[in-house]
Amino acid sequence: MEQDSRIARLGEALARRPAWLAPRHPRSRDAAVALLLRPRAELELLLIKRAQHESDPWSGHMALPGGRRESHDQDLLATALRETREEVGIDVVRTASLGALDEVSPQTPRLPPIVISPFVLVVDADAAASPAPEEVEIALWVPLRALADDRAADELILELEGMSRSFPAFRYGEHVIWGLTHRILQQFLALAAGAGVSG
């Protein structure tokens, strides 16, 4: 795959900034997600809407392809690659990894204790997602410029335990991106801006 200058600059920015590793606790589970970049005229990022499952605390949320590490995964990058293949049918090779972002964990005890490692990966310009319907309701390629646009910044108001709480979010069309995915995307957008990559 011929690398364009935007991808090269992102790779250099990630190489200069080693990912922060979150502390592990005895009950913590490891997971990984993939930020898949498709280099077209606009640099695009793959987002998914998770399928509805009663047992999934992130059911129906906008997210990145990914999931929990399994015992046979070589490492967390392998987890991100496997989950990407299973959820959206895109087979990404290890060498497509540009690097990792800082790990994140839920900030509320209501959610499972999990540490998520985000990996930035580049795919071919003609890559297409084929969502696994039992796991993914929608997969869509979002122009990076649309998320970086100030007009995408929004907030989500939720009623939690009898109180209204506001959460920062991105809005893309009818989709609202918040929580852990918002935190990961904020990191990535800041890194991209610092590397002079806007779309």
Domain tally, the chain = 1
> What is the number of other CB atoms lying within 10 angstroms of the CB of residue 129?
21
> Residue 83's domain spans which residues?
5-148+179-194
In a domain, 173, yes or no: no
In a domain, 164, yes or no: no
Q: What are phi and psi of 164, to 5 degrees?
A: -85, 130
- Residue 29 CA to residue 113 CA, distance in Å, equals 6
In a domain, 169, yes or no: no
State pLDDT tens for residues 49-67: 988 766 666 567 899 999 9
- Residue 97 CA to residue 122 CA, distance in Å, equals 7
Return the CATH number at 55: 3.90.79.10
State pLDDT tens for residues 11-54: 999 999 999 999 998 889 999 999 999 999 999 999 999 887 66
- Residue 146 CA to residue 104 CA, distance in Å, equals 23
In a domain, 139, yes or no: yes
In a domain, 136, yes or no: yes
In a domain, 106, yes or no: yes
**Three-state secondary structure call for residue 87:** helix
Residue burial 44-82, b: 16+ Cβ < 10 Å; e: rest: bbbbbbbbeeeeeeeeebbbbbbbebeeebeebbebbbb
pLDDT range class, residue 94, cuts 50, 70, 90: very high
Q: How far is CA 49 from CA 52, 87, 138, 196, in A?
A: 9, 11, 5, 29
Whether the predicted pLDDT of 1 surpasses 50: no
State pLDDT tens for residues 140-191: 999 999 999 999 988 877 776 677 788 899 999 999 999 999 999 999 999 9
In a domain, 79, yes or no: yes
In a domain, 186, yes or no: yes
